[in-house]
Amino acid sequence: MCNKNLVIRFVDYRANDIERVSYDIENGQFRLTVIPKQKINPPGKDHIELSYSGVSADTVIIIGGSNESHFPAISSKDLAGANIVHIGTNDITLSSGKSYISFSKPAPSVSEIVFSLIAESGFPVDMDVATNLLMGIEDSSSGFSSNEVTADTFAIVAELMRLGGKRQASLPRNTDLPPGAIPGQLKRKHAKTQQGIKLEKKPQINFQQSSQLEAVGSEDSPPKDWLEPKIYQGGNKAAFPQGGKSPIVEEGKNDKGNSQGESSGGISTN
């Protein structure tokens, strides 16, 4: 397919200032002459703009799709007389009534069909072509996990690898990794990384409530001297009254009026 027509446009130059346009051929070269009206300057180089319009093609190859709406270009007048060839995994229907040739057949990818056509035509397949077709088959079949994958698919993959095709390096699918952890992966914006993260509100401590709980617990706790070690001397009697108070120690005396603890010197610890 190539461009069909050359269009010469004069920008910022009034068309009414042109008297006529003529052309001739000198020494095999085409020459276009623009003649302005009297007392009007001719267009300059800055006024000239070149562009192309239309296409010229004998055959148009359309790939994929299932109906004419997927290929609006084939409805243009420029392609009215072109032959249409379709390659895809589904049959196509053209509502405009145009005749076409279809090489569609059920397959996991268009790349598999393209390789079959290349092999049947006897065209050579280099390493670059084999790699592109191999990547197309693997991507369209979701890593050969599609239900449409057959034994012929793996046979074509093996042949493409023999021809030098390289498989696409797959990246780990762990989405829990932080942005930029995978080499070659673009870092996402910080604002996007915050989306989907549920922030849990930390419980706030009420110091007034905490002090009230501490005061309530102190009423049931024993006094400090209750937990301290007690020293009893011989004959001492310790009474443990109710209510959690400290024990009452009574000293027994001997006939001489001295405490029995002084003569016995016994020490007992609680």
Kindly tell me if the per-residue pLDDT of 1 is higher than 80: no
Between 156 and 54, the higher pLDDT residue: 156
Give the tokens for residue 248: 């009452």
Q: Is residue 18 part of a domain?
A: yes
Q: Is residue 120 part of a domain?
A: yes
Q: Is residue 257 part of a domain?
A: no
Q: Find the mean pLDDT for residues 47-53.
A: 87
Evaluate whether 10 touches 50 at the Cβ level (below 8 Å).
Answer: no
Per the listing, tokens 């790349």 go with 111
Determine the pLDDT at residue 115. Answer: 94
pLDDT-based confidence at 25, cuts 50/70/90? very high
Evaluate whether 103 touches 77 at the Cβ level (below 8 Å).
Answer: no
Same domain membership, residue 9 and residue 49: yes
Q: Is residue 45 part of a domain?
A: yes
Q: Is residue 40 part of a domain?
A: yes
The one-character DSSP state at 221 is S
For the chain, the domain total comes to 3
**Lowest pLDDT segment from 6-15, 96-105, 212-221:** 212-221
Q: Is residue 216 part of a domain?
A: no
Determine the pLDDT at residue 260. Answer: 45
Sheet holding 100-102: strands in order across? 59-63, 83-87, 100-102
Evaluate whether 101 touches 69 at the Cβ level (below 8 Å).
Answer: no
Evaluate whether 155 touches 117 at the Cβ level (below 8 Å).
Answer: no
Kindly tell me if the per-residue pLDDT of 247 is higher than 60: no
Same domain membership, residue 91 and residue 73: yes
Between 198 and 263, the higher pLDDT residue: 198
**Lowest pLDDT segment from 41-45, 192-196, 212-216, 261-265:** 261-265
Domain around 95: 57-104
pLDDT-based confidence at 264, cuts 50/70/90? very low
pLDDT in tens, 201-226: 555 555 555 555 555 555 566 677 77
What count of other Cβ atoms lies within 10 Å of the Cβ of residue 102?
Answer: 15
Alpha-carbon distances, residue 34 vs 13, 39, 53, 196, 245 (angstroms) = 12, 14, 21, 67, 124
Give start and end residues of each alpha helix (H) in the chain. Answer: 110-121, 127-140, 151-162, 190-193, 207-220, 260-264
pLDDT-based confidence at 172, cuts 50/70/90? low
Same domain membership, residue 65 and residue 46: no
> How far apart, in Å, do the first and last CA atoms of the chain sit?
108
